[in-house]
Amino acid sequence: MKNIYLIGIGLIGGSFAIDIKKHFPESIIHGISRKEATLEEALSLNLIDKKATLDDLENADVVIISIPVDATVKMLPTILDKISDSSLVIDAGSTKEAICKVIENHPKRRNFLACHPIAGTENSGPSAAIPDLYVGKTNIICEVEKTTFKLQEKALQLFTAIGMRIRYMDPVAHDKHIAYVSHLSHISSFMLGKTVLEKERNERDIFDMAGSGFASTVRLAKSSPAMWTPIFEQNKDNIIETLEKYINNLQHFKELMEEKKFDEIYNEMENTNYIKQILNGIK
Amino acid sequence: MKNIYLIGIGLIGGSFAIDIKKHFPESIIHGISRKEATLEEALSLNLIDKKATLDDLENADVVIISIPVDATVKMLPTILDKISDSSLVIDAGSTKEAICKVIENHPKRRNFLACHPIAGTENSGPSAAIPDLYVGKTNIICEVEKTTFKLQEKALQLFTAIGMRIRYMDPVAHDKHIAYVSHLSHISSFMLGKTVLEKERNERDIFDMAGSGFASTVRLAKSSPAMWTPIFEQNKDNIIETLEKYINNLQHFKELMEEKKFDEIYNEMENTNYIKQILNGIK
């Protein structure tokens, strides 16, 4: 765990950097980014020790990729080409099927571990990185059996040190379920924000009427379009399915309102209150 | 500000009780509730000093009504019948038009001040009451000109002491705008919770995949159906309008997905990021 190379140093990569430095103080964090400004910012925030390029990857003990998922799909084969035989490459993408697919026949497939740490905030960029982001959070690992045993072990050592719990899943199931519990939330939030802005954009005073409930439901509408557009693209079919169900439920609710069936509206809400038990388990 | 009568001692009424006691230590808080168990709980939590009934209201300096809005509409005329000429009656309902309407010709109309404190959590009942709930929050007052000057002043003294900022609005505009910035958020959250539960109810493990983003967007789905059903009923027309716009925006987003117009999806999200500026102002 000496030479760590971060490809992408935003909220996810930067927060890894902070916690790796804390738990593995002997490590040297090398940063790779498309943008020079990001590298400079990451240096000045002490997230990375050194700037690097893809050609330096042969020196990497661990490579952590946290860039938009379209860029991951594009770059992952090249990254595997460049690493040494003993390197571990981890990604942190919110989709897993396309990423696993693109390197399924790569000669260094066994150096790669497909991961999705369920952690984050609505903020992005190096300045969004925070300590302890991963403590108590779930890390979903896909196709673990395709990674060499020694490197599985190395990855687990890293994840355990920074406080994550591990779940194993296949990429197809991951993408299907994550559409419901993450991707749909982002769309519902973006469209809620859009609906209110369209109505109220020119009446700024009206937002004095908005309370913490509104803030909570539209929080995800602050998320980065550069990060989320490729996620929606890669998980298109699953997301369309969730959207259909969500729209149908809203449409049904509207019809109950129009038909003044308020007893049924009460029941809809009471049944959904069951979500309390589930949310109690989420940090 | 000596004898304060609370009709309803849940999250809203109970939190008023805590802060009134803090800022007006000489006050005596009397609790009125349909349910004996609520009164006992409020007593044991020290939210109220004494139990009372509607027939005691002639002794009230201030009456604060925080019960479901259908019950407010039903009881408000009786409450005004029972108070003395110098009493101030305040409500805290999330709708204002029906409440103002029902007492517009009441002989004690000038003893009533229609209020909507934009404060709360998704919890309910006496145990949900918390100190300082109202600090820095907005209180929307409707038809202030219909309340006698002396009692306006008394109410402002109370609201200022517990840290609220005041906005004045007419009831029709209040109900129209609050449908966008509060009521729609609750429905989007309930239907999101429902959609995910329908899919994932029998796969409890899947909620290990849910992170803070999901928790944030479905938080309001924990809200009380008894409180919210009558709000939706009283604000039916405005809410149906917001639901139509919200469903149309979701439908459009789904079509962009189906047509693979990801550039437009990017733009949708980027335009909505503007919500950041607005949310910065919300506590």
Residue A120 main-chain phi, psi, to 5 deg = 155, 180
pLDDT at B269: 97
B118·A247 Cβ contact <8 A: no
Put simply, the answer to whether A216 touches B216 (Cβ < 8 Å) is: yes
Q: Looking at the complex, report in whole angstroms how far the Cα of residue B56 sits from the nearest Cα belonging to chain A.
A: 33
pLDDT of the residue at B255:
98
The per-residue pLDDT for range B99-131, each reduced to its tens digit, is 999 999 999 999 999 999 999 888 899 999 999
Closest CA to A250 of B218, B237, B181, B190: B190
Give the pLDDT of residue B121: 87
Name the residue with higher pLDDT: A69 or B211. A69
**CB contact at 8 A, A156 and A44:** no
Q: Do A167 and B208 touch (CB under 8 A)?
A: yes
Q: How many contacts (CB atoms, under 8 Å) link A and B?
A: 307
Q: Which of A189, A195, A268 lies closest to B194 in CB terms?
A: A268
On the CB side of A182, how many CA atoms lie within 13 Å of its CA?
Answer: 28
Alpha helices in B139-183 (DSSP H): 149-161, 171-178
Q: Where residue A196 falls among pLDDT bands split at 50, 70, 90?
A: very high
Rounded to two decimals, the ipTM of the complex is 0.92
Q: Could you give the strand order of the β-sheet that contains B112-117, starting from the edge strand earlier in sequence?
A: B50-51, B28-32, B3-7, B62-65, B88-91, B112-117, B138-142, B165-169
Cβ of A118 within 8 Å of Cβ of B245? The answer is: no
Average pLDDT on A99-123 reads: 96
User: How far, CA to CA in Å, does B278 sit from each of A194, A207, B152, B207, B275?
Assistant: 12, 7, 30, 31, 5
What is the third-level CATH fold of A174-279? Answer: 6-phosphogluconate dehydrogenase C-terminal fold (1.10.3660)
Chain B residues with CB under 8 Å of A232 CB are 257, 262, 265
Cβ distance of B180 and A194 shorter than 8 Å: no
In chain B, which residue's Cα lies nearest the Cα of A199? B180
A170 reaches B (C-beta below 8 A) = no
The distance of A5 to chain B (nearest Cα, Å) reads 26
Residues of A in contact with B259 (CB under 8 A): none
Average pLDDT over all residues of chain B? 95
Instruction: Name the residue in chain B with its Cα closest to that of A182.
Output: B214
* Nearest Cα residue in chain A from B195: A246
Query: Which residues of chain B neighbour A194 with C-beta distances below 8 Å?
Result: 249, 268, 271-272
CB B246 within 8 A of CB A191: yes
> Per CATH, which fold does A3-169 belong to?
Rossmann fold (3.40.50)
Mean pLDDT of chain A: 95
| Among B244, B255, B194, B217, residue whose Cα is nearest residue A240 | B255
B149 to chain A, any CB pair closer than 8 A? The answer is no
Q: Where in chain B is the domain with CATH 3.40.50.720?
A: 3-169
User: Taking CB atoms and an 8 Å cutoff, what residues of chain A touch B180?
Assistant: 195-196, 199-200, 206
Query: What pLDDT digit, counting tens, does each position of B127-147 carry?
Result: 999 999 999 999 999 999 999
Partner A contacted by B212 (CB < 8 A): yes
Beta-ladder partners of A31: A6, A51
Q: What sign for the dihedral angle of Cα A108, A112, A114, A119?
A: negative
Q: Cα–Cα–Cα angle for A262, A268, A270, nearest 5°?
A: 105
Residue limits of CATH 1.10.3660.10 in chain A: 174-279
Could you tell me the two tokens for A146? 């395709």
Distant-in-sequence, close-in-space partners of B72: CB < 8 Å, separation ≥ 6: B65, B91, B93, B99
pLDDT tens-digit map of A76-93: 999 999 999 999 999 999
Least confident of A111-115, A140-144, A262-266, B277-281: B277-281
Q: pLDDT class for A151, splitting at 50, 70, 90?
A: very high
Residues 6 or more apart whose CB falls under 8 angstroms from that of A61 comprise: A1, A2, A3, A4, A86, A87, A88
Closest-CA distance, B58 to chain A, in angstroms, reads: 34
Contact B247 A254 (CB under 8 A): yes
Task: Output the pLDDT for position B68.
Answer: 97
Q: CA of B180: which chain A residue's CA is closest?
A: A196
Instruction: Assess B251–A contact: CB distance below 8 Å, yes or no.
Output: yes
Is A202 a residue whose pLDDT tops 80?
Answer: no
Chain A contact for B150, CB < 8 A?
Answer: no
CA distances from B150 to A273, B84, B153, B187 (A): 43, 14, 5, 39
Minimum distance, in Å, between the CA of residue A118 and any CA atom of chain B = 6
Residue B245: its chain A contacts at CB < 8 A?
195, 198-199
Task: Tell me how far apart the alpha carbons of residues B13 and B162 are, in angstroms, rounded to a whole number.
Answer: 13
Is the Cβ pair B196, A214 closer than 8 Å?
A: no
- Predicted local distance difference test score (pLDDT) of residue B1: 83
Q: Is the pLDDT of residue B202 over 80?
A: no
> Could you tell me if A214 lies within 8 Å of chain B, comparing CB atoms?
yes
| Chain B residue whose CA is closest to A212 | B283
The proportion of chain A whose per-residue pLDDT surpasses 70, expressed as a percent, equals: 97
For chain A, state the CA radius of gyration: 21
